[in-house]
Amino acid sequence: MKGRNVAACAGAVAGMLLFAAPAVQAQSSAPPATPAPAKPPAEAFAVLPVEPPRISPDGSRFALIRGINGRPTIAVYKVDAPQQPPHIVTSDWIISALRWAKNDVLITYNRTNERHGLFDTLRPLGDVAALTLDNGPMIHLTALAQINDLDLDSPDTIFASYGGMLFRVNVRARGYSKVNVNPAPRPGTGIAWLMDGHGNVAGRVDATRDEDKDGLPMMHATVKVAERDTWRTLGNYDIPFGRNEDVPGLSEDGKAFIGVYPDNSDTTSIVRFDFSGPATRLFQDPHYDAGGTLKDDWSGRVIGYVVDRDMPEYHYFDPKREALQRGLEQAFPGLSVHAVSMDQAGDRVIVEAVGPRTPESYYLYDRINHHASAIAASYPDLAESAMGEVKTYDYSARDGLHIPAYLTLPPGKAPHGLPLVVVPHGGPDARDDMTFDFLRQFLASRGYAVLQPQFRGSRGFGRAFAHAGFGQWGLKVQDDITDGVKKTIADGIADPRRICIFGGSYGGYAALAGATLTPGLYACVASLAGPSDLEKMLDYSHDKFGTTAENYWMARIGKDSAQRDAVSPALHADRVTAPVLLLHSELDVTVPIAQSEIMDKALEAAGKKVEFIRLPGDDHYMALEQTRLRVLQELEKFLAANIGG
């Protein structure tokens, strides 16, 4: 990054606050949106959020993913011609991410559900495609590929790996060829190639599958540097299966690799593997995991790291980048802010700002003329005044374990005797934080307090906390959720007669488990794509994704089949006392719709009150606007009928 006067940068960036964030379809010159009503309609929360914009290498264009006709769509804008309509790119696939390869070539990451195999069932596939903006359609490159190097010296070439092999890809001629690396690695061991931004291999990460001391599947990873005719080992670490720790990258000085190190000292750390010296731990927080490294858009070199505290915090190794970050934080007090993209020269920067009540907003900052303008915003029709206050609400579980949690209070309501919606997150190897969450703010706008417990097994709080949730589905994990609810009652925040539990995926399971394991606690229960029969869920995982995936889930759910049956909601439907709402996408292959069908039949057979809503055409992740809107509308009706808002 080129150096600039830090005070001038901060002052210019502060000027961004004078710009009203436009609707995502608009440019920075668009008129401000009509002020949102005190109770925004469900449609305002259901719109697809803007994915972070990315600027081209020369800074002439930026691209983003936004909803058009209810689907994720790429829009490409010219920086110096903001009044021109954007170049629109649509796809039958779900476009989930993008990055620039060249000044006129975008790489897109897409997913779909595709018929596959003898069972004629559905499975998700990853796809990487290249899009030449001026003269060609989207070009399929390969499924499940990893882009390793954009090759800054070539107008046509990038490097990608697949199946442990490295390929040179021509993004214009649609051709590719295998790169024969000397020395050749041992077949089947590679999980990543480490490159220097100019098409040269600097190292690699090898891995072998194994089990940890508890019998859980994991991988032994080895970081190696290329030296003449050999590979020299720099360091080793273990990766639990299913944890997508980011791949190390070359340091800015080219003398080391830097990556997230998930060692046994509990929280993950940032470690530098020097080529000519010992490994050095650059950062470790005693309470929170390092969320990942920050890499330069073009060279792929590691420039900093993020820490997943209650809101993400960003740090950079280069003093000039760090000064820019501190200037941004001064300009956006109380928000999580950072540069999500900058051109190759470092002159044009796209900045993201987000907070508990502030949806993601994006600004283009020109560091040459100190000009800043708003370019896009998620949820443009929501006013901050209509959003609820979000605060930490930590508590102790019954066995003394510290449980982080977040509590959102409805605007204009005193925190006493409120109807409460408990929203356990999915995963369960995931977590919530305090940045804007459309679901909790939707519920708060309807008059509900919202509790989001970060139960044991949640990631981001260290390995010991995550491992404490293994084998505890329906047991200690469920107790953590129950204990949080009881605290809101004891503190007088929640009305004990008006509490509902709602979640998606694992959160959907937790909701159904709440209905069957603590039936007197909840006045209503809603599940979005929640597993209900754990034995059948494991069978499905084995049939569709193999033994390793089955073992991964068995370790988290519980290895004893009798225990799994004891906490499977569908097998205990007779215990349910509250009305149940089931929602499930018909094309979901992560948790098949059969899991909700099983629960629906069990509840009906037991004479319980249940409503089952099928969501057409979507996958597990509510990728379509029509799905998000239907879920919000049905949830609003269900809650109003049972606990009132």
- Higher pLDDT pick, 131 / 496: 496
Most confident of 180-194, 207-221, 565-579: 565-579
Helix (H, G, I), strand (E, B) or coil at 601: helix
Token pair of 377 as six digits: 């915003």
Q: What is the mean pLDDT of residues 358-384?
A: 95
Query: pLDDT higher for 32 or 468?
Result: 468
Q: pLDDT tens-digit profile of 232-284?
A: 889 887 776 555 556 889 999 999 999 998 866 689 999 999 999 889 999 99
How many other C-beta atoms are found inside a 10 Å radius of the C-beta of residue 539? 12
The larger pLDDT score, comparing residue 178 to residue 496, is at 496
DSSP for 362-374, written as a single string: EEEEETTTTEEEE
Q: Which residue has the higher pLDDT, 28 or 150?
A: 150
Rounded Cα–Cα distance for residues 201 and 197 (Å): 9
- For the chain, which domains are there? 6-33+42-377 (2.130.10.120), 384-642 (3.40.50.1820)
- Give the three-class secondary structure for 573: helix
Three-class secondary structure assignment of 414-427? CCCCEEEEECCCCC
| pLDDT of 30 | 35
Q: How confident is the model at residue 230 (pLDDT cuts 50, 70, 90)?
A: confident
Listed in sequence order, the DSSP H helices in 36-149 are 42-46
Rounded to an integer, what distance in angstroms lies between the CA atom of residue 293 and that of residue 306? 6
The SS3 assignment for 219 reads strand
Q: Helices (DSSP H) in 36-129: which residue ranges?
A: 42-46
- Which three-class secondary structure state does DSSP give residue 31? coil
SS3 542: helix
Q: Taking CA 312 as the corner, what is the angle to CA 220 and CA 50, rounded to the nearest 5 degrees? A: 100
Tell me the sheet residues that pair with 396. Answer: 402
Residues contacting 491, CB < 8 A, separation 6+: none
Q: What is the torsional sign of CA 554, 556, 557, 561?
A: positive
Is-contact 429 467, C-beta < 8 A?
Answer: no
Summary mean pLDDT of the chain? 87
Angle formed at CA 151 by CA 150 and CA 154, multiple of 5 degrees: 120
154 bridge partner residues? none
Q: What is the pLDDT of residues 542-583, one digit of tens each?
A: 887 778 778 888 888 988 999 999 999 999 999 999 999 999
Is residue 428 reached through a cis peptide bond, with omega within 30 degrees of 0 on the bond before it? yes
pLDDT at 52: 96
41-52 per-residue burial string, b: 16 or more CB within 10 A, e: under 16: ebebbbbbbbbb
Alpha helices in 332-468 (DSSP H): 438-445, 463-467
Which value, in Å, is the radius of gyration of the alpha carbons in the chain? 25
| Residue 373: exposure state from Cβ atoms within 10 A (0-12, 13-18, ≥19) | middle
Segment 600-623 mean pLDDT: 95
CA distance 515 to 504: 15
Q: Which residue(s) pair with 115 in the sheet?
A: 122
State how beta strands 418-422 and 494-504 pair. Answer: parallel
Q: Strand 494-504 relative to strand 524-528: parallel, antiparallel, unpaired?
A: parallel
Give the model's confidence band at 11: pLDDT under 50 very low, under 70 low, under 90 confident, else very high: very low
In the block, residue with structure tokens 């539990």: 501
Percent of the chain residues past pLDDT 90, beyond the cut: 66
Q: What is the pLDDT of residue 139?
A: 62
Helix (H, G, I), strand (E, B) or coil at 575: helix
How far from each other are the two terminal CA atoms of the chain, in whole angstroms? Answer: 51
Q: Which residues pair with 272 in a beta bridge?
A: 258, 280
pLDDT at residue 114 tops 60: no
Of 394, 400, 393, 461, residue with least CA distance to 428: 461
